[in-house]
Chains A and B, each alone.
Chain A
Amino acid sequence: MIATGFNLPPDEESLQRLAPLIIEEPDLYEVAPETLWRQQGDGFAPNGFHRRFADLRARTGRPFVAHGVGLSVGGGGAADERRKRTWLRQIAADHAVFDFLWYTDHLGVSAPEGLALTLPLPVPYTPAVATGVGRRLSALQAIVPDVGVENTAHHFVLGDPLDEPAFIARCLNGRRTHLLLDLHNVHTMATNLGFAAAAYLQRLPLEKVIEIHVSGGAESSPRWLPSGRVLRLDSHDGAVPDEVWDLLEAVVPRCPNLRAVVLERLERTADEGDVPLLREELRRIRRVVA
């Protein structure tokens, strides 16, 4: 069975508004572990959402998967090694509580030279970088055996974007390494960088896909850039667009090892009127994977 999942918002107001949906619809929950931490000395301690989601797990008995935002698996600088070790220690503590089925993070550098840019930057598609990504995934596997990367919605890349799928395949040549295929990210990059999403998917190692993300997004304001150009944003703040549904229907049958499709929605972007839409989106996912 392919599970239908929901990315839990670390936000009190959103959790209250979505409480019935969160209990009634998903088979599986996804969390961004770092949003469950607070700084304590040189390390971290669980924050209030950590306890709340642990309670949800105990109450529902449903599995959790982790989708991190800060491991910076594409970053290779020695300056970031100490931070990565601290990160891994807290991931181990979280895994002891949530028993994650798998752990993924974004393919990119979110902490170049150890600095907190927090947005994953694109990496050069070189064999050396792919080897480094594999090495960092291997370190993560010492904690959670099944690990992977998500294709990120970069607004620029350092080569031909249609070379990225082959690079992803090189990053994921280890045992029990997987791809989290984010279809809105593919749609966003295809729109902004001018390629066909289908061509990108055609080149991906789809047998590596363990999870798919679907979400919505928005457009940037023409005032943001001197050129006036409008770019698509991976903002997770609206309905899943038709293009992403079409990609989902086309790709699910081609992913033989797919285990979950997860809906993402940015905290504090869904008002009361959006709850029926989110419920229908979860049900539509369930129909597609049935």
Chain B
Amino acid sequence: MKGYERRMIEILTAPDPEQALRAAAADPSLSPALRRAFAAADPDGVRLTALLVARLRFERLLRGCPEAAQAFDADAAAFAADFRRYHAQVPPTTFFPLGESMLYRSWLSDRASPTPPASPPPSPSPARRRSAREAPPSRGGRGTSADRPSRAR
């Protein structure tokens, strides 16, 4: 279905994925079949999927960027808020931790410049390291090589 992938990205990275899903289901610019498909999607399932996508990116960043890991250890709440802004503002264009680290550093550098980019409202994200049972699943963990993607199942 034309437009499905682009619209899913918008939904899953929106500050409120459920609201974005409802908007997609009512968008006359989409085909009737795609609108029906979005209308049939379970809103809680979409929200959880958005959380898992953010979680995987969060783990990718912590594995690739020691400064981010240190910042998280120093003040988890502040780092989580930063990460939400980063996730909302920067498209996830890289699959590997070192690439994510470069994106994050570039975002930090832009933010520190005299004309920072506008900040959309933070998106909901678990953005906290929890025990495996409490946290959304991932195939993360720090091994001998930091630069490998998480395994999402």
Q: Mark A112-145, 1 if CB is under 8 A from B, else 0.
A: 1111111111011010010000000000000000
Q: Which chain A residues border B53 with CB–CB below 8 Å?
A: 117-119
Tell me which residues from 132 to 179 in chain A have a Cβ below 8 Å from any Cβ of chain B: 152-159
Stretch touching chain B among A96-104, A232-240, A249-257, A282-290: A232-240
CA of A164 to CA of B133, assembled, Å: 29
Tell me which residues from 23 to 66 in chain A have a Cβ below 8 Å from any Cβ of chain B: 32, 34-39, 47-49
B76 interface hit (Cβ, 8 Å):
no
With A116-B93, A235-B137, A237-B132 as known contacts, state yes or no: A156 contacts B1, CB within 8 Å.
Answer: no
Q: Are B52 and A116 in contact (CB under 8 A)?
A: no
Stretch touching chain A among B4-12, B78-86, B112-120: B4-12
CA of A11 to CA of B140, assembled, Å: 9
CA of A114 to CA of B99, assembled, Å: 15
Closest to B6 in A: A113
With A116-B92, A158-B37, A264-B153 as known contacts, state yes or no: A124 contacts B9, CB within 8 Å.
Answer: no
* Least CB distance, B32 to chain A, in whole angstroms: 13
Q: Which chain B residues border A32 with CB–CB below 8 Å?
A: 139, 151
Q: Which chain B residues border A118 with CB–CB below 8 Å?
A: 53, 56-57, 60, 92, 95, 149-150, 152
Q: Which chain B residues border A229 with CB–CB below 8 Å?
A: 44
Q: Mark B53-75, 1 if CB is under 8 A from A, else 0.
A: 10011001000000000000000
Q: Mark B23-34, 1 if CB is under 8 A from A, else 0.
A: 000000000011
Closest to A69 in B: B151
* Least CB distance, A5 to chain B, in whole angstroms: 16
Q: Are A119 and B49 in contact (CB under 8 A)?
A: yes
Q: Mark B88-112, 1 if CB is under 8 A from A, else 0.
A: 0001111110110000000000000
Q: Are A266 and B139 in contact (CB under 8 A)?
A: yes
Q: Which chain A residues border B34 with CB–CB below 8 Å?
A: 124
Q: Are B45 and A156 in contact (CB under 8 A)?
A: yes
Q: Which chain A residues border B47 with CB–CB below 8 Å?
A: 224-226
Q: Are B141 and A14 in contact (CB under 8 A)?
A: yes
CA of A120 to CA of B26, assembled, Å: 25
Q: Are A49 and B45 in contact (CB under 8 A)?
A: no
Q: Are B49 and A155 in contact (CB under 8 A)?
A: yes
B122 interface hit (Cβ, 8 Å):
no
Assign chain A's interface to a size class.
35 or more
A109 interface hit (Cβ, 8 Å):
yes
Give 9 CB contacts A-B under 8 Å: A35-B151, A36-B148, A37-B148, A39-B98, A49-B143, A112-B6, A115-B93, A119-B49, A233-B137
A220 interface hit (Cβ, 8 Å):
yes
* Least CB distance, B148 to chain A, in whole angstroms: 5
A193 interface hit (Cβ, 8 Å):
yes
* Least CB distance, A147 to chain B, in whole angstroms: 19
Q: Are A267 and B44 in contact (CB under 8 A)?
A: no
With A77-B5, A112-B8, A268-B132 as known contacts, state yes or no: A119 contacts B152, CB within 8 Å.
Answer: yes
With A154-B45, A231-B45 as known contacts, state yes or no: A269 contacts B132, CB within 8 Å.
Answer: yes
A221 interface hit (Cβ, 8 Å):
yes
A243 interface hit (Cβ, 8 Å):
no
CA of A118 to CA of B148, assembled, Å: 12
Among all A-B residue pairs, the 10 with the closest Cβ atoms? A156-B45, A235-B137, A47-B145, A112-B5, A155-B45, A158-B37, A38-B147, A268-B141, A48-B144, A156-B42
B51 interface hit (Cβ, 8 Å):
yes
CA of A234 to CA of B153, assembled, Å: 7
Q: Which chain A residues border B20 with CB–CB below 8 Å?
A: none
